């Protein structure tokens, strides 16, 4: 897959812009990159705090020919991002299932993959990735205890900050494409598992109104989370987990 990055400094949401391009027939590999979102989209319809200041917000259009690859997209993007952070900044980051990247106990990256046109000839996936590269001011109170940044400083030079974001985007895309073009499921999940920040930890699993207190025992071959409750093991593929910050 070849990638085509389109930079728009400020958008409502890179996902929204890219979905419009997808409907117009944009090719797989089209990527919308921005430095500020006014209506950033997170998982489960949440808002993704997306201030200006040298951070990276990007969405990638995927048209997977093998539908079996679709359930690996978030896993591959997490692996690619951890690799890229290590390459660019020397950062050892960990993955909080299923789509958050943590560094020094705080969330520095979130990602979400949304499938469109399921069951049609125009099925495609929009993969959104947001990385907090620099520290930000005015972080909303509801995320202040988890919001973190890769670099422990503010962006003092806007142009240099944008260049840093673009450079990181290129490395993330390079790493992602290397996984996506030759999807070795076992190897990819093994690497994802090696970056896990939650295996062996006590968590609360949340899905709808259901809350389960459990211990994370493994990541399944399709990226699901294997939880132990009262000695029983069960794999979950939807929902999310909550964990105390001091345990991250």
CATH number at residue 118: 3.30.930.10
The proportion of the chain whose per-residue pLDDT surpasses 70, expressed as a percent, equals 97
Arithmetic mean of pLDDT, 28-39: 94
Tell whether 220 and 135 lie within a shared domain: no
Evaluate if residue 248 carries a pLDDT over 90.
no
Tokens 């797989």 belong to: 28
pLDDT digits (tens, 9 = 90+) for 53-75: 889 999 999 999 887 788 899 99
Evaluate if residue 214 carries a pLDDT over 90.
yes
Evaluate if residue 170 carries a pLDDT over 90.
yes
Tell whether 43 and 115 lie within a shared domain: yes
Tell whether 86 and 129 lie within a shared domain: yes
Instruction: Identify the pLDDT of residue 98.
Output: 86
Tell whether 52 and 89 lie within a shared domain: yes
CATH number at residue 238: 2.30.30.100
Q: In terms of residue numbers, what domain contains 162?
A: 4-194
Q: How many domains does the chain have?
A: 2
The proportion of the chain whose per-residue pLDDT surpasses 90, expressed as a percent, equals 73
Within 13 A of 101's CA, how many CA atoms are on the CB side?
30
Tell whether 46 and 120 lie within a shared domain: yes
Tell whether 221 and 115 lie within a shared domain: no
Q: What is the pTM of this model?
A: 0.93
pLDDT digits (tens, 9 = 90+) for 125-169: 999 999 999 998 888 888 889 999 999 899 999 999 999 999 999
DSSP string, the chain: ---EEEE-SEES-HHHHHHHHHHTTPPTTEEEEESEESS-B-GGG-B----SSS-EEEEEEE--SSGGGGGGHHHHHHHHHHHHHHHHH----EEETTTEEEETTEEEEEEEEEEESTTSTT-EEEEEEEE--S--SS--TTTTTTB--SSSS----HHHHHHHHHHHHHHHHHHHHHHHHS--HHHHHHHHHHTBS-TT-EEEEEETTEEEEEEEEEE-TTS-EEEEETTEEEEE-SSEEE--GGG-
Instruction: Identify the pLDDT of residue 224.
Output: 92
Tokens 């105390």 belong to: 244
């Amino acid at each position: 897959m070849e990638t085509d990055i389109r930079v728009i400094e400020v958008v409502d949401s890179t996902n929204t812009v890219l979905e419009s391009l997808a409907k117009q027939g944009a090719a797989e590999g089209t990527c919308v990159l921005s430095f500020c979102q006014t209506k950033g989209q997170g998982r489960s319809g949440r808002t993704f705090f997306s201030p200006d200041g040298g951070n990276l917000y990007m969405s990638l259009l995927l048209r997977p020919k093998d539908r079996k690859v679709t359930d690996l997209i978030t896993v591959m993007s997490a692996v690619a991002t951890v690799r890229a952070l290590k390459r660019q900044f020397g950062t050892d980051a960990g993955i909080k299932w299923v789509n958050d990247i943590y560094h020094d106990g705080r969330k520095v990256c979130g990602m979400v993959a949304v499938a469109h046109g399921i069951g049609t000839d125009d099925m495609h996936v929009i993969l959104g990735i947001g990385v907090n590269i620099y520290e930000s001011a005015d972080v909303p109170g509801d995320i202040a205890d988890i919001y973190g940044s890769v670099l422990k400083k503010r962006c003092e030079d806007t142009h240099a900050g944008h260049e840093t974001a673009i450079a990181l985007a290129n490395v993330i895309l390079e790493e992602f494409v290397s996984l996506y073009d030759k999807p070795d499921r076992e190897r990819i999940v093994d690497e994802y598992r090696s970056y896990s920040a939650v295996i062996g930890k006590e968590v609360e699993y949340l899905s709808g109104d259901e809350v389960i207190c459990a211990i994370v025992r493994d990541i399944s071959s399709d990226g699901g989370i294997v939880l132990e409750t009262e000695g029983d093991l069960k794999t979950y593929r939807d929902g999310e987990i909550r964990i105390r910050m001091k345990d991250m």
